[in-house]
Amino acid sequence: MSDSARMLVANLVRSHGGFARRRDLLVPGVAPRALASAVRAGILVRPRRGLYCVPEVPARQQHAALHGGALTCGAALVEHGVWLRDRPEPCILLLDQGHALRREECATPERFHHRADAPRFGLDDPVHALGHYLRCAPDAEAIACAVESCLARGLVSSAELALVARGASRPVRETVAWCRATAGSGLETIVRLALSDAGVKARSQVRLPGVGVVDLLVGDCLVVEVDGRAHHASDDGYESDRRRDAGVVLLGGAVLRFSSSQVTCEIESVVGVILAAIGRGMHLSTSSFGSPPRPAARVGRHAAFHIADSE
């Protein structure tokens, strides 16, 4: 099989969205043996009999096609770039009239969804995938992380969110109504939700003069920062945090900083520390919090210590 013929076959599959059935590929100039040759050459992958895809199709989409449908629910959200608290199981989306192609390693029946307008293969859109996830997610925290990540990334509008949540249970609808598009990360969502459950309101992504945007602000002046693993591994991130923390103090506030493992594994302790700080009144400003501090006077030969503006 010539290189030009192989490229013709691959481009035909791409023109069908990355997946194509055998009958759609047997056009003039493409013989059945050309498909077999393309598979042997690694130009095409055959997830199951009569179905082909290009190699760049993600493995989970190929897995869904193996079982007769498209990838949806949490696994599809992850491929759209959504942050989920838990690693999702693959969920397969089938047409209403479709049926799962069973194999030994096939997902359990509870992991299949049906929809009349489902894509035949590939990846479900984020709006419908989120709608399925609302019915699969284990708890309110997992739902809030998914919804706020979708909103922050612009994958789902408020109107679309209200539509997909309409048929969900009342607790799910209440969690969805609580969500906002301002969360900077899933870790922020976890902390803010836990604080909300404890009766404490926190604002996300608040900009402070001379400091920049902080993760959460409780009350007037208690800043709560949550750091992901990648942030901890960066020397620049470490230095920047110290400058920002000093800036908050100079503005008259206080900073509580927590790691990703603390947030995901010890959220009760995290909330307990924040509540203790609130109990001491650390969330209430005794000065005009948010106003830039006056420049310090020079004392002898020592210059005043200035906080770099990290905005």
- Residue 2 CA to its chain's centroid (Å): 43
Do 116 and 193 lie in one domain? The reply is no
95-146 tens-digit pLDDT: 755 555 555 544 444 478 888 888 889 999 999 999 999 999 999 999 999 9
64 three-class SS = helix
Average pLDDT (82-95) is 88
42 dihedral zone (left: phi>0; alpha: psi -120 to 50; beta): left
245-281 tens-digit pLDDT: 898 988 889 999 999 999 999 999 999 999 999 999 9
Q: How many domains does the chain have?
A: 2
177-230 tens-digit pLDDT: 999 999 999 999 999 999 999 999 999 999 998 899 999 999 999 999 998 766
Residue 108 maps to a domain:
yes
146/186 Cα distance (integer angstroms)? 8
Do 191 and 259 lie in one domain? The reply is yes
Residue 172 maps to a domain:
no
Range of the domain at 121: 11-127
8-24 tens-digit pLDDT: 888 889 998 899 998 88
Do 203 and 303 lie in one domain? The reply is yes
- Of 96, 127, 158, which closes a domain? 127
- pLDDT at site 110: 46
**Domain CATH code at residue 308:** 3.40.960.10
pTM of the model: 0.82
Contacts of 187 (CB under 8 A, 6+ apart): 226, 228, 260, 263, 264
Residue 78 maps to a domain:
yes
Do 225 and 297 lie in one domain? The reply is yes
Residue 146 maps to a domain:
no
Half-sphere exposure of 175 (CA within 13 A, CB side): 24
Token readout for 9 is: 């076959």
Do 118 and 218 lie in one domain? The reply is no
Residue 2 maps to a domain:
no
Do 108 and 229 lie in one domain? The reply is no
Do 112 and 191 lie in one domain? The reply is no
286-295 tens-digit pLDDT: 665 555 555 5
12/100 Cα distance (integer angstroms)? 26
Do 191 and 117 lie in one domain? The reply is no
